[in-house]
Structure 1
Amino acid sequence: MSDVKVEGFKTSNTLAALAQVFESYSEEEKKKEIKKTNGIFELRIKNAEGKEAIWTIDLKTSGSIYKGQAKSKPNVTLLMSDDTFQQLADGKLDGQKAFLTGKLKTKGNMMFATKLDGVLKATKTKAKL
């Protein structure tokens, strides 16, 4: 399994679980997810200490999650706190509400960012988060 954990970030546990789900997909399931989403999310997350970590969810080419900047141009870059991502992943915070209240900032295709919620929900049930 690709190592996506970063010390001091709750987000890394969630993304590690999602990465395992992606890795458990058959080639057919992976192709289906890639076709449905067809894009790359770059997540820039700041923790309580103000440190930033970057992860990429690639649902355009590889159907994987990895630590670090996107290898090719992301469709959208999402900037938020560790807590905000956790609330989004847990379904306790709506992405649009987070954006409108300034908890979530985007660079790139803002409409594509709305697809992240679907990705999190689809894989969350399998990851048992």
Structure 2
Amino acid sequence: MSDVKAVFDSMVDRFDADEADDMEAIFQFDVDESEQYYVTVDDSGCTLEKGESDDATVTLEMDADTLKAVMSGELDGMAAFMQGKIRADGDIMLATKLTQIFPNG
């Protein structure tokens, strides 16, 4: 299993349904030099799929180190975006809620 896949599995395990209340979104992750994944959040919870979604609400592009740092809490997602480490396309405000939907520890 790749490190990137482990990060996504960990995200799904930490999913906070209360924070995602009434949210319907597809987060597409394009991680440099890795497989693509997308996370679907809706009333039934969240699911992780490998590949690319045609209906992504927001697409986030970054390298694997940035993904790990943001999802572990070592790096603030907004700071990473401002530093150009994350590129976002689509509903960028939704991307700012990622660490609330998938909290650390």
State if a TM-score over 0.5 links the two structures.
yes
Please give the alpha-carbon distance, in whole angstroms, between the structure 2 residues aligned to 1:36 and 1:90: 25
How many angstroms does 1:119 deviate by?
Answer: 1.9
Higher share in helix: 1
Higher relative contact order (CA 8 A, sep 6+): 2
SS in 1 for 2:38: strand
Count how many residue pairs are aligned between Structure 1 and Structure 2: 104
Contact 2:66 2:85 in 1 (8 A): yes
Paired residue for 1:42? 28
Unaligned runs of 5+ in 2: none
One-letter code aligned to 1:87:
A
Q: Share of identical aligned residues, percent? A: 25
Out of 32, 45, 49, the position equivalent to 1:66 is: 49
Pair 1:104-2:86 in alignment: yes
Please give the TM-score of this superposition, normalised by the length of structure 1.
0.69
Please give the TM-score of this superposition, normalised by the length of structure 2.
0.82
CA deviation vs aligned residue, 1:20-67 (integer Å, no higher than 9, x gap): x27xx9xxx86x565343211000001xxxx23211110036521111
Out of 12, 23, 27, the position equivalent to 2:5 is: 12
| Structure 1 residues 68 and 88: alpha-carbon distance in aligned structure 2, compared to 1, 3 A threshold | same
SS in 2 for 1:37: coil
The structure 1 segments of at least 4 consecutive aligned residues displaced by more than 3 Å after TM superposition are none
Please give the alpha-carbon distance, in whole angstroms, between the structure 2 residues aligned to 1:85 and 1:11: 8
How many angstroms does 1:14 deviate by?
Answer: 1.6
Task: Find the structure with the greater CA-based Rg.
Answer: 1
| Structure 1 residues 55 and 45: alpha-carbon distance in aligned structure 2, compared to 1, 3 A threshold | same
